[in-house]
Amino acid sequence: RASTPLPRPGGSGATSRGVTSPCHPQLGHTASEPGSRAPRGSCSPGSSGSPSLRKPRYRVVLLGDPGVGKTSLVNLFAGVQERDLLDQHGGAAYERRLIVDGEETTLLVLDTWEPEQRGEESQCRSHCLQIGNAYIIVYSVTDRDSFESASELRIQLRRARQAEDIPIILVGNKTDLVRCREVSEEEGQACAAVFDCKFIETSAALQHNVDELFEGVVRQIRLRQGGKKSHLHPAPGQKHKESFSSRARHFLDRLVARNSSKAALKVRSKSCHDLSVL
């Protein structure tokens, strides 16, 4: 059955609309603004302005291994209670209006990434790597294998979108499980620096940094779109691609080796933790 929208304090707000994914034909879903806690000042449901004014609409794709918390994050984004999703199968897409830095934006978040399989599923995975305006790669800080998979996903995404400067945010989820942590925050920052993406740690269970994550996605998209004409990017020539591939592969080699964490920490970190700048 369809989920029940959560009540919003102080009256009803804008609701989210379920969107059907090409790879998952039965994903219609309705969700409301989260009722458990009010959004931060810069991230709130948009008001119903003039219908003649079309607001920006961005498509964000969640990537990552099963069990890292992708669905929990998108549920918080959309305001969906997990118990309402027990009968839902497959991935889902959620749409919500946000006001970030005073500007209204519609964000469509796709949680349709599936474990690697053959046939149609591999085609669906390839499709996911082509359709996003931005990507969120999630791993669990309690699972080093998922961290290594996230690094591999960054390489796959780079190969699929070589000529495009798209925002990619590496997310270390489940920070509330302190005693089970296997991946340090410093390692996540080092990985983000090497793979040229942004980084943030979250806890879906504690609702920590979830608003900041999706606000940051909007800002990263805007920054890149606003800088397309003024900011010169090097052409994606062979030398540039080989440089990235070499750095990425070298990082992964150190990552899987014993005592690799200390070596990874030596990578010079950029402002990868600040989602409000390029």
> Which domains, and CATH codes, for the chain?
57-115+122-227 (3.40.50.300)
* SS3 category, 26: coil
Only one residue has tokens 């119903």, namely 48
Q: Where are the alpha helices (DSSP H) in the chain?
A: 70-78, 120-131, 144-160, 185-194, 210-226, 238-256, 260-264
Q: Please tell me which of 38-47, 80-89, 128-137, 260-269 the model is most confident about, judged by mean pLDDT.
A: 128-137
pTM above 0.85, yes or no: no
Report CA-CA distances (Å) from 93 to 18, 111, 113, 185. Answer: 6, 6, 11, 29
- C-alpha separations of 217 from 27, 130, 137, 234 in Å: 23, 17, 12, 23
The three-state secondary structure class of 77 is: helix
Report the alpha-carbon angle 90-198-163, nearest 5.
80
Tell me what the pLDDT averaged over the chain comes to.
74
For residue 269, the model assigns a pLDDT of 55
pLDDT of residue 32: 35
> Which position has the higher pLDDT, 217 or 16?
217
- Alpha carbon of residue 160 to chain centroid: 17
Q: Which residue has the higher pLDDT, 212 or 53?
A: 212
